[in-house]
Structure 1
Amino acid sequence: MSDQSVPAYWLYGERRTDRFPDALHIETIVSRSTLHDWRIEPHRHQSLHQFFLIARGGGTARIDGVDHRLAPGTAVLMPPLHIHEFRFERGTDGFVASIAELGLRRLFDAEADAHNELMRPAVFGLGLDDAEYAELAGVMQAALTEFARNQGGREVALTAHAGLIALWFWRATRRARADSAPPRDGHAALVGRFIECVEADFRSHRPLEAYARRLGVSVPHLSRTCRETLGLSAVRVIHDRMMLEARRHLVYTSMPVSQIAFALGFSDPAYFSRFFAARAGVAPSDYRAAA
């Protein structure tokens, strides 16, 4: 299966239309999962953010080739383009809310860092007695009730509910990813710009100096800012993105390892295999066999 053959949907099983019809789409997990025998096959969304909350039951979510256990209280953030699939236990229920990319950008016009911080998948384990779970469950239930109505001001109400759901996940992301001390003003913005540059150029194997020059900062400053904000070195950010793409190809395509190496910008497949094994602990072929 080629990478292009992984289907891209608006909502799972529904091909893309001209525009997302509402500010927010929300449904119960059971309503769609029962139609597919509790198995949501590998897919991605081109321009759609999704937010999940498990209220009962559980299962497994595979996100970019990595498995995550789902249990009551699990919340999942799924940005566009990331390949994901679900294996739900029968009877699992909860909520899945969907917000179009353009709509999310508009919601966070006043928060420059929010969009970047919502562009990485995340899984949050909450207890059913946690205040954070009760808050999110209440917001999603209210949104579901409003979505089912056909009353005046529906789009205004759905926009407000979309903002509350996205805001909950943004705050949860900040809490989960924050260092012991918050980053200084401007650091998150620089890291966000760096991540965007890496996303565009990681296959070109540009040296860190090229990224720093493009961002108008020194290499030490960029590295220090990444460590303070993400807990990772700048080089690690680049390598992690390359590894993510390598895992996607190994799990979701049948491309030979040598072809994957060339697709990721490596001129020597043997060097790619060493690069991958040093970070994953296994050779690419062994990783594929175990996936």
Structure 2
Amino acid sequence: MPGRSVPAYWLYGERLTDRFPDALHIEPIMARSSLHGWTIQPHLHHDLFQFFLVTEGGGRTRVDGREHLLTPGSVLLLPPSTIHEFAFLDDTNGFVASAAATSLKRLFGNEPEARALLGSAAVLHVPVGSGEFAGLSATMRLAMSEFAANLPVREFSLAAYADLIASWFVRAMRGARAIAEPARDARAELVRRFVERVEARFRQHDALTDYASALGASVPHLSRSCRELLGHSAARVIQDRLMIEARRDLVYTAMSISQISFRLGFSDPAYFSRFFAKRAGLSPSDYRVKA
């Protein structure tokens, strides 16, 4: 409902000052959800990547204003600052693994495209009984056993599990975006820097030529690299980031359409409405009513 204030937690229900000290936190979905009546209210995490696997039950989730059905085999990637909520069926279970970006610095340092691939929220499905499902489930189960124990080199082991779980999602995102062959490091680094710059400047509505110039690349090369690594053009990256923010504001704030328009850098609310409707298939006001 519009007008709600969306809280930021370290883990759901825990203050930001209650940071867990581990490289990886992992728990069963039911451990926290059952305490809250199987309903997790809208919230976000500033510094955490979260990785979910549903093994039993299901329900619904809303991620940045978009609703998704959850069934056994559903996997969720939630990057930092993603607004999300859940309405689980009773006795739903699976795993939720949380890792700060600093815990994944080895992965990001060795695989430059990983940060870009993990930079957008996603809800995917892997068939129960498939090798992909079995592999992720086994890794998360072993990680949870390590997390619960107090064994030597525990922190090193948890960091390794954080890398393994995040790597599974990197591969899943690459597959979901139909990336058929590995990217060269230079091309992946260009896309990573572009995504980071879009995150910092999407409200300024910089022209694509400005982005390319700042990154030392031509527009065709930048867009081609985005298509090969992310599955869509560089212009689409900018538009999608604006749409994410627009959906958030429409669903989670009471701001008027004009206020949202100006906050997102549009000088004309009517143009913003046309921009939104073309991509969402609904006007902003209709989207807010249906959300």
Q: TM-score range by the shorter chain?
A: over 0.9
Please give the secondary structure, in 2, of the residue aligned with 1:108.
Answer: helix
Cα distance between partner residues in 1 of 2:119 and 2:77: 9
Unaligned residue ranges in structure 1 (runs of 5+): none
CA distances 1:13-37 after superposition (whole Å, capped 9, x unpaired): 0011264311111110111001110
Cα distance between partner residues in 1 of 2:169 and 2:275: 34
Tell me what 1:149 maps to: 149
CA distances 1:186-228 after superposition (whole Å, capped 9, x unpaired): 3222112111111111111111111111011112222222223
CA distances 1:45-85 after superposition (whole Å, capped 9, x unpaired): 00011111111000111111111111111111111001011
Q: Is the 8 A contact 1:20 1:100 kept in 2?
A: no
Aligned length: 290
1 or 2 for the larger relative contact order (CA 8 Å, sep ≥6)?
2
Q: TM-score with structure 1 length normalisation?
A: 0.94
**Distance change >3 Å, CA 57–CA 115, structure 1 → 2:** same
Query: How far did 1:184 drift?
Result: 4.8
The amino acid of 1:56's aligned partner reads E
Segment drifting more, 268-277 vs 49-58: 268-277
The amino acid of 1:111's aligned partner reads E
Segment drifting more, 224-233 vs 42-51: 224-233
Please give the secondary structure, in 1, of the residue aligned with 2:76.
Answer: strand
Tell me what 2:85 maps to: 85
Please give the secondary structure, in 2, of the residue aligned with 1:115.
Answer: helix
Query: How far did 1:181 drift?
Result: 4.7
Cα distance between partner residues in 1 of 2:91 and 2:52: 16
Report matched runs for 1:1-291 at 5 Å. 5-17=5-17, 19-291=19-291
Cα distance between partner residues in 1 of 2:168 and 2:179: 19
Unaligned residue ranges in structure 2 (runs of 5+): none
Q: Is the 8 A contact 2:107 2:114 kept in 1?
A: no
The amino acid of 1:57's aligned partner reads G
Please give the secondary structure, in 1, of the residue aligned with 2:239.
Answer: helix
Q: Is the 8 A contact 1:105 1:115 kept in 2?
A: no
**Distance change >3 Å, CA 56–CA 19, structure 1 → 2:** closer
Percent of aligned pairs with the same residue?
Answer: 59
Please give the secondary structure, in 1, of the residue aligned with 2:69.
Answer: strand
Segment drifting more, 242-251 vs 174-183: 174-183
Please give the secondary structure, in 1, of the residue aligned with 2:45.
Answer: coil
Query: How far did 1:6 drift?
Result: 0.9
**Distance change >3 Å, CA 154–CA 179, structure 1 → 2:** closer
